[in-house]
Amino acid sequence: YKADCVVFDKTGTLTNGAPALTDVCPCSGVQPETLVRLAAALEQCSDHPLVRAVTAYAQQQSDAPLPPAEDFSYALGRGVRGTVAGAAVVCGSRTWLHELGIDMAALAALPDLRAQAKTELCVARGGVVLGTLGIADTRKSEAAAVVAQLRAAGKEVWMMTGDHVLSEVRPDEKAAAIERLRARGKTVCMVGDGINDTPALAVADCAVAMGGGSDIAIESAGILLPSGNLEKLPELFDISRTTIRTIRQNLTWALFYNLVSIPVAALGVLHPSICATAMSASSIGVLMHSLRLKDSGKKERRFPWKKKS
């Protein structure tokens, strides 16, 4: 409940995890079909959920088999490369293609799909950029409301992904990004679902995994949202706050009770049987007070940052 910074993974956490190819933007003189099939030929060797959208789109457009890719390699969080029909093909982020020495000037005439909150794949063949592909994943219906609730509660909200806010973050850099937030004095709650979120989940002060996520992410997290419904996240903070308050109330009562009853019992003012009964009654009282937490999830929760109608 002390977390003042909530970091979300995007794919599968804020989105439904069912990406689709939405934009085909070829450079001048390049056919859209050529761009898609070339990217799909290379991406068919990868099992990343985003690139499956490319191969699925290519298969829908044509029944012809995709050409095989050779010398396939994967750069973590950046893209893939290989040889298709005797030509070197690269498919990945703008940053990576630029690092490989590929001239990206031709993309200036194309829309920047990153500004549209889409994953952008740049395709190059033989060192020449051919165009870009845009992949979008539908946002969970409750995502915007949950983020608004968390912000209204005074929490700093980030989205960490390879594309956008805290952008160009490779999977092996996510943990370092969390550490940087902690170095700024933030108490960080990380919310993720995939294998590449595991390092970040492990180093965060509080880790929440989605129920439909990978097994290793669930094992790395301290809290699991079985339904994957983000609406439970604000409720999680509310329950945590209520639990800590209940524990403190129980400790205060137990301390007060013992400060009064122990001296009375030691002086022999009360019969031992009465003291034993009183001690049992105190323990039962603490237990019943704690059991009030069980009923908190059975009624509609009223978050302290919501305005009551």
Residues with active-site annotation: 9
φ/ψ bin of 206: left (φ > 0), alpha (ψ from -120 to 50), beta (otherwise): beta
Q: Give the H/E segment covering residue 299.
A: none
CB under 8 Å, gap of 24 or more: what pairs does 257-263 form? 257/282
Q: CA gyration radius for the chain?
A: 27
Beta bridge partners of 73: 81
Contact 157, 9 (CB under 8 A): no
Beta bridge partners of 206: 189
| Alpha-carbon torsion (263, 269, 272, 278), positive or negative | negative
- Residues in the chain, how many? 309
Taking Cα atoms as reference points, which of 149, 113, 116, 109 lies closest to residue 130?
109
